[in-house]
């Protein structure tokens, strides 16, 4: 018995060693895969950090070239104009300077560069939230569309009675989008693309056209598993999504109707002036905006009762190209009104302006959105807001089908 036991010992030991090695190998496989995934995530974050560090170093301040003027000559030979000047208590020179200042404010001839830059920044803002999904976590693909409106919330420069003149920094946009998961290749990345081209349309008192496109990639870190449970049906955290890509947007605007405004003469009662800037004939009020930006967005989401999803985060946008141009040539007729007096034809002003401005170099914005999930249909709205001067905000609404 001893001889047989000794002879079988090497074989037994080999069997035990193989079994132990196999068990260790099986146990280490999940650990190895987890370590590999963490390594990919670290490399992704480091690569993004280096890329945006280079972009930040290469970024330049916004630049602008602008000129503008108001050429106004009062119709002092007209008796009614003379009576109106006398009623104001001003000299003809003082009234002319006052009216010139009001026209400068109305047509932004003294702040053309800032006015134009606000338009470009607003147009860039409209592209945010249209081409990327931050909440659906599609397994295979998704398609949809959205529209967006952005503005700079600062109207202090403009008379409240102005009609036909755009408020500072307005942008409109719309886009179709699609997304594809690269999970079937073993890559935990969602790739998105969006595009839209809209021919000339009327936008209130302006008319214009727009086109845009974008390409983005999104990696989701610390995301939950796809398995379902009662707890996940009630509340489910979507992990952390890191998104980057390229956004391009172009829009042109032209004045379609006359610019009209009125303002009161200071230190008087019942004296005011109506201004009408003609948008016909040789008149021009044209704005063209092109923006190219690289966003970096970090977002998270929470799904409630499988039907509602709330999401939010921060985005940082590098403006890597583009610019805005403006060309203005408008004749503005002025009529003075005074209680108990005939209207006075005060004269006509020639308003000209020309400008080119690059967009602001970079902006940090907050992202806040809500989504309703109806089977494969997703209906969402998203707010982007940047604490700048003027404050920039955009609102996007849309629908998608995710599978």
The whole-number pLDDT of residue 2 equals 42
The whole-number pLDDT of residue 227 equals 66
The whole-number pLDDT of residue 259 equals 77
Q: Per residue in 305-327, pLDDT tens?
A: 989 999 999 999 988 888 889 89
- The mean-pLDDT minimum among 26-35, 228-237, 244-253 falls in 26-35
> How far, in Å, CA of 399 to CA of 315, rounded?
22
Compute the average pLDDT of residues 374-386.
Answer: 94
> How far, in Å, CA of 251 to CA of 211, rounded?
7
- The mean-pLDDT minimum among 22-31, 92-101, 181-190, 193-202 falls in 22-31
Q: Is 90 exceeded by the pLDDT of residue 35?
A: no
Query: Which residue is it, tokens 């890597």?
Result: 320
Neighbours of 272 (CB within 10 A): 15
> How far, in Å, CA of 134 to CA of 129, rounded?
9
CATH fold for the domain made of 59-402? Lipocalin (2.40.128)
Compute the average pLDDT of residues 96-111.
Answer: 86
> How far, in Å, CA of 206 to CA of 304, rounded?
42
**Concatenated DSSP letters of 241-285:** EEEEEEEEEEEEEEE-S-EEEEEEPTT-SSEEEEEEE--STT-EE
Q: Per residue in 123-133, pLDDT tens?
A: 788 888 889 99
What tokens were used for 139? 């397994």
Query: Which residue is it, tokens 């799904």?
Result: 303
**Domain chopping of the chain, boundaries:** 1-58, 59-402
CA nearest to 207, candidates 175, 255, 171: 255
At residue 358 the predicted structure's pLDDT band, cuts being 50, 70 and 90, is confident
At residue 39 the predicted structure's pLDDT band, cuts being 50, 70 and 90, is low
What DSSP state is assigned to residue 163? B
* Residue 353 near residue 326 (C-beta atoms within 8 A): yes
pTM: 0.75
Compute the average pLDDT of residues 91-107.
Answer: 90
Q: Is 80 exceeded by the pLDDT of residue 175?
A: yes
Which residue would you say has higher pLDDT here, 31 or 301? 301
CA nearest to 123, candidates 163, 164, 68, 174: 174
Query: How many C-alpha atoms does 242 have within 13 Å on its Cβ side?
Result: 13
CA nearest to 394, candidates 249, 257, 255: 249
Cβ-in-10-Å burial (0-12, 13-18, 19+) of 140 comes to exposed
Which residue would you say has higher pLDDT here, 378 or 169? 378
* Residue 37 near residue 59 (C-beta atoms within 8 A): no
- Using CA of residue 276, residue 280, residue 282, residue 283, what is the dihedral sign? positive
Which residue would you say has higher pLDDT here, 298 or 151? 298
- Whether cis (ω within 30° of 0) applies to the bond prior to 390 is yes
What tokens were used for 174? 């719309």
- The mean-pLDDT minimum among 7-16, 37-46, 84-93, 293-302 falls in 7-16
> How far, in Å, CA of 194 to CA of 191, rounded?
11
What tokens were used for 388? 């700048």
Q: Is 60 exceeded by the pLDDT of residue 168?
A: no
Query: How many C-alpha atoms does 243 have within 13 Å on its Cβ side?
Result: 33
Q: For 269, left (φ over 0), alpha (ψ -120 to 50), or beta? A: beta
Q: Per residue in 253-305, pLDDT tens?
A: 887 778 788 888 988 888 888 888 776 666 788 889 899 999 999 999 999 99
């Amino acid at each position: 018995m001893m001889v047989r036991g000794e002879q079988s010992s090497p074989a037994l030991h080999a069997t035990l060693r193989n079994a132990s090695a196999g068990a260790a190998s099986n146990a280490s496989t999940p650990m190895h895969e987890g370590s590999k995934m963490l390594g990919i995530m670290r490399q992704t974050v480091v690569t993004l950090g280096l890329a945006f560090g280079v972009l930040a170093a290469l970024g330049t301040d916004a630049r602008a070239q602008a000129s503008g003027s108001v050429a106004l000559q009062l119709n002092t030979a007209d008796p009614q104009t003379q009576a109106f000047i006398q009623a104001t208590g001003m000299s003809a020179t003082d009234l002319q300077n006052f009216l010139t200042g009001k026209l400068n404010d109305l047509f932004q001839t003294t702040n053309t560069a800032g006015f134009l830059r606000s338009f470009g920044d607003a147009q860039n803002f409209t592209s945010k939230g249209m081409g990327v999904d931050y909440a659906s976590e599609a397994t295979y693909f998704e398609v949809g569309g959205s529209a967006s409106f952005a503005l700079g919330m600062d109207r202090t420069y403009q008379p409240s009675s102005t009609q036909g003149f755009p408020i500072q920094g307005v942008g409109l946009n719309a886009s179709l989008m699609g997304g594809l998961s690269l999970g079937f290749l073993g890559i935990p990345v969602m790739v998105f693309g969006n595009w839209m081209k809209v021919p000339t349309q009327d936008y209130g008192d302006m008319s214009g056209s727009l086109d845009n496109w974008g390409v983005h990639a999104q990696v989701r870190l610390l995301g939950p598993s796809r398995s379902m449970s009662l707890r996940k049906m009630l509340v489910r955290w979507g992990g952390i999504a890191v998104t980057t890509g390229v956004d391009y947007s172009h829009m042109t605007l032209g004045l379609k109707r006359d610019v009209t405004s009125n303002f009161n003469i200071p230190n008087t009662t019942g004296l005011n002036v109506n201004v009408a800037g003609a948008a016909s004939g040789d008149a021009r009020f044209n704005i063209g905006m092109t923006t190219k930006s690289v966003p970096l967005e970090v977002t998270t989401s929470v799904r409630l009762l499988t039907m509602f999803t709330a999401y939010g985060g921060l985005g940082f946008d590098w403006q890597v190209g583009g610019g805005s141009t403006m060309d203005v040539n408008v004749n503005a007729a002025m009529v003075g009104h005074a209680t108990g007096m005939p209207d006075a034809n005060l004269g006509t002003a020639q308003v000209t302006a020309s400008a080119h401005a690059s967009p602001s170099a970079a902006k940090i914005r907050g992202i806040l959105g809500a989504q309703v999930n109806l089977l494969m249909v997703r209906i969402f709205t998203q707010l982007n807001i940047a604490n700048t001067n003027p404050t920039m905000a955009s609102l996007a609404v849309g629908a998608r089908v995710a599978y």
